[in-house]
Structure 1
Amino acid sequence: MQTLITALLWFSAIGCGLIAGLYFAFSTFIMTALDRIGHAQGAAAMNSINSTILGSLFMPLFFGTTAAAALLALLGLVRWSEPGAMVMLAGGLVYVVGMFLCTVVYNVPLNNELARVGSGAADAWARYLKDWTFWNHVRTVASTAAMALFIVALLARHSTSP
């Protein structure tokens, strides 16, 4: 069981880091670049990104990291007395709530709305850009924080191993 937990922590830390990096890129320059090319072109490009990502390697990483984080949260609860359990639980909760639920509740519906209205509505693009980017900032912070918490859990478990 110890080896499984360690493997899940490594996978989750790396997965969170990769996902945080992607979200960071969108938050810091991709959305700004899409806005600079105009609302019709920006919306069309974002719709293309949104449809392309669904068939990419991002999706197994997205769902795999979410499943691993949820399992680590559960294991942190069940194995509370072990070193690193509290930060495993915290990392899992931060990731599942701050990244996954945020994506499902906010970002995906905004993506669906953008796909529905297309690239013709400047006001829809402006609203999408503001709201989607805000929630993407939340996902970026949550993914980064979860990565850090999983690393702390690894260190706590390592420092007490024989």
Structure 2
Amino acid sequence: MSTAAQPALHAATIAMGLSAGLYFSFDVSVLPGLDRGDDHTYVAAMQNINEAIENGLFGLVFFGAFLATGIAGARLTRIGQRTAARWTWAALALYTAAVVLTMRINVPLNKRLAAGGLPEAAGELAALRDTFKKTWAPSNAARTLACTAALLCLGRALSTLRH
């Protein structure tokens, strides 16, 4: 295999694994943990998490998974590794779905949650939490599934490489 495709495919697999793991950790620990608390704790914690995640390292993984997967797919296609390329393109399609969910659902909800501040009235706080949670959590679960499936596709691409 061309050495040009291998680093991109490995980078894509690592970044995809990190993305899938991040979303999975929210599904199985962060959100259930926050659900055990009161409305103020939930809203304040999610506002802090949403602010903290906007950093260079997260951006590198979030956009890096997309770029590395696309580069790997293009290079695999160019060198004739058709089976590996197909699996890589499938991974890119799945990850694109996760990115679209993020940009169209999760990010706008994060911005609305931030704009809502921390209302003092219990009813307002509960409504803010419920409005956010009822859409954000299922969207995150879909991102987890898409990234996990993309990771599986990249693993399959690695396993089909001809040397």
TM-score exceeds 0.5:
yes
Equivalent residue for 1:101? 100
Q: What is the deviation of 1:74?
A: 4.5
Q: What is the deviation of 1:135?
A: 0.5
The CA distance in 2 between the partners of 1:5 and 1:152, in whole Å, is: 15
Q: Deviations over 1:70-107 (max 9, x none)?
A: 3344556666763312111111111122x111111110
TM-score, scaled relative to structure 1:
0.88
Equivalent residue for 2:4? 4
Q: Which amino acid in 2 is paired with 1:112?
A: K
Q: Deviations over 1:110-156 (max 9, x none)?
A: 10010011232211211211211100001111111111101111111
Note closer, same or farther for the CA distance 1:53–1:148 as it changes in structure 2 (3 Å cut): same
Equivalent residue for 2:49? 49
Q: Which amino acid in 2 is paired with 1:156?
A: T
8 A Cα contact 2:43 2:129, kept in partner: yes
The CA distance in 2 between the partners of 1:60 and 1:103, in whole Å, is: 15
1:129 aligns with 2:133: yes
The CA distance in 1 between the partners of 2:69 and 2:129, in whole Å, is: 33
User: Residue 17 of structure 1 aligns to a residue in which SS?
Assistant: helix
The CA distance in 2 between the partners of 1:79 and 1:39, in whole Å, is: 54
The CA distance in 2 between the partners of 1:51 and 1:131, in whole Å, is: 19
User: Residue 67 of structure 1 aligns to a residue in which SS?
Assistant: helix
1:118 aligns with 2:122: no
The CA distance in 2 between the partners of 1:82 and 1:17, in whole Å, is: 23
User: Residue 118 of structure 1 aligns to a residue in which SS?
Assistant: coil
Q: What is the deviation of 1:35?
A: 2.3
The CA distance in 2 between the partners of 1:86 and 1:93, in whole Å, is: 11
Which sections of structure 2, spanning at least 5 residues, go unmatched?
A: 120-124
CA RMSD of aligned residues (A): 1.9
TM-score, scaled relative to structure 2:
0.87
The CA distance in 2 between the partners of 1:106 and 1:113, in whole Å, is: 11
Note closer, same or farther for the CA distance 1:152–1:42 as it changes in structure 2 (3 Å cut): same
Which sections of structure 1, spanning at least 5 residues, go unmatched?
A: none
Note closer, same or farther for the CA distance 1:4–1:144 as it changes in structure 2 (3 Å cut): same
Correspondence for 1:155 among 132, 146, 159: 159
Question: Share of identical aligned residues, percent?
Answer: 32
User: Residue 57 of structure 1 aligns to a residue in which SS?
Assistant: helix
